[in-house]
Amino acid sequence: MRKTFFYVFVAWVYIWSWSIFNVVKADEPIVSKEYVETVVSHVIRNMNNMDHSEVLSDDLARIAHMYTIDMLISVQKHLPYILEGAIADMRLKADKEYKCKLQGDSKNKECYDN
């Protein structure tokens, strides 16, 4: 009885988690409908003789891969702005070093704060 309850609970959590992921990004297809139907039917058919943790870990790895790709696309899209800020910081640092070099041993506080 406990094993049956556990398997039903795992299947319910699995299906519920898919519904949460589909609601969060309803405008973008996360997975194809065929994939979800295939996995759910496989879990239901082979409930007693399969490793549920392996199925769950595979799906989590796939989801992590999808989010990694999404993050890389976002970084690629914003990379010019990130680089622009880094270049501006390096330019300010180079200007400060050049100014301090030109002033020599003057008592400019900005040159001694390094």
Q: What is the pLDDT of residue 85?
A: 86
Q: What is the pLDDT of residue 17?
A: 67
Q: What is the pLDDT of residue 91?
A: 93
Confidence (pTM): 0.46
Q: How far apart are CA 38 and CA 58, in angstroms?
A: 14
Q: What is the pLDDT of residue 26?
A: 45
pLDDT tens for the 114 residues of the chain, in order = 677 777 777 776 777 666 656 555 544 556 677 877 888 888 888 878 888 788 888 888 888 888 888 888 888 888 888 888 889 999 999 988 888 888 877 777 777 765
Does an H or E element contain 45, and which? helix 33-45
Q: What is the pLDDT of residue 114?
A: 54
Other beta carbons within 10 Å of 84: 10
- Residues written for the chain: 114
Structural tokens at position 15: 């299906």
Q: What is the pLDDT of residue 113?
A: 66
Taking a C-beta distance cutoff of 8 angstroms, is the pair 38, 80 a contact?
no
- Amino acid letter, residue 14: Y
